[in-house]
Structure 1
Amino acid sequence: MTRSTQSRRSALLACAALMAAPALLPASAFAQDYPTRPIRVIVPFAPGGVVDTTARLLTQKLSERLGWNFVVENKPGGNGFIAVTAAAKAPADGYTLLAAHTGEFAVNPALFPQVPYELDRDFAPITMISDTPMLLVANAQQPFNTVQELVAAAKKAPGSITFSSPGNGSINHLAGEWFAMEAGARLLHVPYRGGAPAAAAVASGEVVLGVVAIPAVIPHMQSGRVKVLGLTTARRSSFNKDWVTANEAGVKNVDASNWVGLFAPKGVPADTVARLHAEVVKTLEQPDVKKRFADAGAELGGMSSADFAQRIRSDATRFKDIVQKANIRPE
């Protein structure tokens, strides 16, 4: 072999080594560089709802802390199928994320015979962002003031006491049916198009009860037209520690809340998921962020990815049982 041939061969080997070098670097080296461009966060709802406002608050605070750029993209419709499917099919590079809530991953699989996505197959849960209890509220003119008095009245006249929710098959609807089943009573569900109309229906006396989120009912509590009977969660709310849980009032096992979480498409590098998790948790620990969520009646998340995935599976199993026993059908 001539000296010139050896030189050319050495140069080619050197180039090949340089080209291969990135593949030999540990994944953490790339995670440190992430992100290098804007991150898209898909939301399955129109602007203004709980998932949208949660996603925008989180991304705003992440941007302030880290200088990262985010684009929140609203893809409403189709019971969340449109947005969640779009996120599942996105490149697994960490630049498309999904902000979703209980409905997409715990209720939809229980409610619909065919769902075009699967948690374990299509997504890597990053963490829960927030968890908001729901309230069982009554019109202020109703004679009962406690859960026990409500249950007694419902048993005396099965099916005569109405309760509102933001829609048929919503987490609120399922929570109301769950409460009724555990109480051994029968309530009549009246669906509305959103949490605000459902709460307004209780305030006006159009329905007797409502299973609603705290923000939707606050104005009516302040006006004195609605009273809180109890919570649909197993734990009391930090928003008002005087509110009793259904469990404490004798209606056991009821534990339904509306969480919002952040997800990445399956296949996103584990180090990138871990980096996102760590930065979200640090952001949630900021005092101003804690206050914003607390003012809306939400408890902060931040659990590990594994614990979040287990929580979703547990919710999905329980809600499937409720859907079957209450014979709930999607509209």
Structure 2
Amino acid sequence: MRWLALCAFLLVSPALAQAPAPAPAQALAKLPEVEPEGFQASVQPERVVLGEPFVYELVLTHPSEQRYELALPPDLGDFEVLSQSRTPPRAGTEPAVTTFQLKMSAFNLGMLTLPGVPFLVSTPEGPKRFVAPGRTIEVGSTLPDDAQSQGADLHDIQPPTEVAIRSWTLLWALLGVLAAALMAVVAWRLFQKYRNRPKAVVQPLQPLDVRTRKALDALMSENLPSEGKVKDFYFRLSEIIRGYLGERYGFDALECTSSELMAKLRRMNPPGLPEDGLMRFVSESDLVKYARAESSPEKCSESLSFGYELLAKTWPPPPPPEAAPVSHVSGPRVS
């Protein structure tokens, strides 16, 4: 098998080496001419119809040392080449037969002449050329024979014509205008509603002692100890007292532990502060809140009373009203 492949390569390689690239039309026209030993041309189908493809077959008989290649020009007049194929000669045959098939179509009616087909021929003497003579064919219409008598005929391509196309542009533009108008009306009404709404009356913040006393009164009116909610009662009362002390003396008493709270107040040493009573309240409330200690309604009432006492002892009384200045009226001196 290896010897057969080597022999085939040695036979084919000279032909490949002599096969030149397709030459331009001007260079091809300067080459010497050569005639094949035989040439045949045929058209299939025999009746060529306008615009439909047909096959133009060219069969060349030539010496085996020659090689024929198509060199078609770009413009073939009334014809167009759709595809082309080449059937090479059988190896070892003498003379060689090369077949070319051109799939073409015609774009004109009547008796038309196929253009001459140029070939580039590789010979032992060098490149040469051969031009296959053209042949005349009849190109018929795709219409039946009685089409003209029936009023049907081929017409040339019509020029571009304006065609009315349904467009929704105007409708969309009107919808956009209506939507914009509706949004404007809604925005205007919202603006009027916002402008005419009653303004909220901002109440001034009440004094600390008034707010603290109201919080103690509200806690007393809920009467949580009688409902068994002793822990909730001490949480609420501790929050009221710590909030009052923090705002009264300027520190965050709600975030302080019990020891931190008492340490800060001792350093401040505020006048009137019942330190012992505050220490007892803080201890009792911590036991109830965190140690789940029990406390009687009487103890809860005493703790609430301590809240009122703390407020009374630490909140300064209002300053006395200033006395009106006495005007001295001078009367007539009696002598």
Tell me if TM exceeds 0.5.
no
Q: By percentage of residues, which structure has more helix? A: 1
Highest RCO, 1 vs 2 (Cα 8 Å, sep ≥ 6): 1
TM-score, normalising length from structure 1? 0.19
TM-score, normalising length from structure 2? 0.18
